[in-house]
Amino acid sequence: MDPPRQAYQILRHQDDTLRVVMIGDSWAGMHRPFDDFMQAQLQKLSADLVLFESKGKGGEKTKGVYQLMFEKSGYGTKSFIACSPDYCIISAGINDAAANLGEKQYCYYYCQIVELLLNNHIKPVVLDFPDVNIWTICQKKPFKDLCSDFVRSMMTHCGMYDYSGYRGALKSILEKNGLMDSILYIPICEWYGASYDVNYVLFLDDQIHLNSRGYKLLDICLARNIAEDYDKRRKPILPISQ
């Protein structure tokens, strides 16, 4: 694994605008048609002006999502960070599990994303993602590629195309590093349902990417949690009366 890159600093905005961005993989990349919907949901819940924008790269692993935070062109998201958002929604991990890269690598780069955001006083929004039906893609792979995936899963001690270990490992490392109070963690039960299994009514036919209904449920949940957290952060802590 590569060492952390030199963190860069940005100037914080001084106005009262609530700025929220979403970065990551295809879930972030395909969110763009719903950016206006998300912004409207946030605006309903905030007295301040709201700005929201998303950008992502399909198929990107968590390592790549981190690296793109240092690039401005193409799929780079450094300009998103430079606008000094108050919150950054992270969509990353599904492709790591699909490629059987292992929980260690996934958690390492995810924590680098979180640390870079926190160093710039941007609150990370961490999604507890559901399973997707990766077999809709893998069934088209040549047999030798499926064998390679199997070998990689054995080397990383992760179940083949198994997402559960990645979710648990990330939450565990965030808790171990004392970061849970510094991030906004969105449990799956708050928007998706109690089960991690594929909820077909929320996905496109590929059973990997959210459809309109899925994005709107996710956005309503995100907007509610962000608005509530933003309101708490803005309220001054009053001294306890004697």
Question: Per residue in 80-90, pLDDT tens?
Answer: 999 999 999 99
Q: Are 165 and 103 in contact (CB under 8 A)?
A: yes
CB atoms within 10 A of CB 232: 8
Q: How far is CA 61 from CA 57, 97, 133, in A?
A: 9, 9, 17
How far apart are alpha carbons 126 and 174 in whole angstroms? 10
How many whole angstroms separate alpha carbon 102 and alpha carbon 61?
11
CA-wise closest residue to 199 among 173, 218, 185, 224: 218
Answer for the pair 154, 179: CB distance below 8 angstroms, yes or no.
no
The domains found in the chain, sorted by start residue, are: 18-198+206-229 (3.40.50.1110)
Question: Is the pLDDT at 154 greater than 80, yes or no?
Answer: no
Is the pLDDT at 44 greater than 60? The verdict is: yes
Share of the chain above pLDDT 70, in %: 86
Q: What is the C-alpha separation between 192 and 42, in angstroms, rounded?
A: 19
Full-model pTM: 0.90
Residue type, 110: Y
Query: What is the rounded average pLDDT for all residues in the chain?
Result: 89
User: What is the rounded CA–CA span in Å between residue 95 and residue 236?
Assistant: 41
User: Among the ranges 19-28, 96-105, 145-154, which has the highest mean pLDDT value?
Assistant: 19-28
In this structure, how many other beta carbons lie within 10 angstroms of the beta carbon of residue 37?
17
If we measure between CA atoms, which residue out of 177, 174, 178 comes closest to residue 127?
Answer: 174
Q: What is the pLDDT, as a whole number, of residue 151?
A: 63
pLDDT band at 99 (very low <50, low <70, confident <90, very high): confident
Question: Can you point out the beta strands (E) in 28-163?
Answer: 50-56, 87-91, 123-127
Give the rounded distance of the alpha carbon of 136 from its chain centre. 23
